[in-house]
Amino acid sequence: MPRSKIDLPFDVEYLSILDERGELDKKLEPEIPQDLLHQLHRAMLLGRRFDERLLSLQRQGRIGTFGPITGQEASQLGAVGPLFPSDWMVPSFRETAAQIYRGVPMESIILTYGGYNEAALLIEKGHDLPVAIPVSSQIPHAVGLAWGIKYRKKDDVVMTFFGDGGTSQGDFHESMNFASVYQVPLVFVCQNNQWAISVPRSRQSHSKTLAQKALAYDMPGIQVDGNDLLAVYAAAKEAVDRARSGQGPSMIECVTYRLMMHTTADDPKRYRKEEEVEQWKKRDPLIRFQKYLKDKGLLTDQKVEELESEIKSEIQAAVELAEELMKKYSDPLQMFEHAYAEMPPYLKQQRGQLEKELAEGRGKEEDHD
């Protein structure tokens, strides 16, 4: 018998709508309401300035290490833009702007990076999971949520984020397979920022794209300019609508770049050239989106200045509140709270023992004084 070509249902496309010079392809421009455009721009600007403030706090020793997001705002905000509040977002650890946009208070994020598990107490409502530090460990949880939604016959959607390095993990492939087999309402969003800590994209996979990995699991995969908010939004809207209508999962590869360090414990100058960083700075998603809004008559330099002032005050208030809460949550006895609805007897005993030792320690200090 002769060889014959197997007909596969999907191809991989690349989508760019607003290029790095701010030139718009009007034929591809998605219909985004003006109020949502303003919300997304404010979220981008807030995410950028908050990132800068977090770095300052970390360098001053006021919080611990964290993963900066500068340069990746469009890839996460464009993705969550089409989601409903009832939908679920399952982040990795570099989706700060999306978390804030989805309702996580900035003071909660500051407390998290300060090492306080009480940060979760500040999140009163929402359908977002906490950040996940181990690479790709969050993706199976996202699949489980999506399977639960389908089992209960709800029309919610789950969106999960991971990096290019995450596609090298077994958790990613197992989750893609499960999601496709059971046709769950899930959108996989890969923030391909070119570096998995110090390992370049070229050492992660020999595939021409990461999006094509979706084809092996019989789901749509698309590669987009991750610094183009319009392209990310358009791709995400298609994927979210597809999932909500019962047509199963999709994967979006956002080609972007990490302008800062992997985390504040990292020195990127040891493994990448500054010339590379400078080239990507010319593709800044915030500057590009601001030009788009100005060209549409939806934004002015004066409005940007007003927003900058508002955001600066908002961030400062969050920092002050977080540091007040750090004083409140500094009691070691807090570690016993919030894990159980009813504290087990053995923990009550341990809590009592620690309380006694702390009291004795304070007594000795007073005697010494």
Say how far apart CA 352 and CA 112 lie, in whole Å. 27
Candidate list 21, 151, 203, 271, residue with the active-site label: 271
Amino acid identity at 207:
S
**What phi and psi, each to the nearest 5 degrees, are found at residue 15?**
-120, 125
Candidate list 242, 244, 258, 283, residue with the active-site label: 258
Helix (H) or strand (E) holding 187: strand 186-192
> Residue 262 catalytic?
yes
Contacts of 40 (CB under 8 A, 6+ apart): 32, 77, 78, 81, 101, 229, 233, 289
Say how far apart CA 20 and CA 136 lie, in whole Å. 30
Contact criterion met (CB below 8 Å) for 321 and 107 = yes
Say how far apart CA 338 and CA 7 lie, in whole Å. 54
> Residue 42 catalytic?
no
Candidate list 102, 262, 283, 288, residue with the active-site label: 262
Residue written as tokens 């989508």? 15
Tally of CA atoms within 13 A in the half-sphere of 57 that contains its CB: 26
Contact criterion met (CB below 8 Å) for 18 and 30 = no
Contact criterion met (CB below 8 Å) for 16 and 233 = no
**How much of the chain is helix, strand and coil, in % rounded to 5?**
50, 10, 40
Contacts of 5 (CB under 8 A, 6+ apart): none
| Beta-sheet pairing, 158-163 with 88-90 | parallel
CA 213 to chain centre: 21
CA 167 to chain centre: 16
- Tell which residue, 357, 358, 335, has the closest CA to residue 347: 335
Tally of CA atoms within 13 A in the half-sphere of 367 that contains its CB: 6
Determine how many CB atoms are found less than 10 A away from the CB of residue 85.
9
- Which residues are part of the catalytic machinery? 258, 262, 271
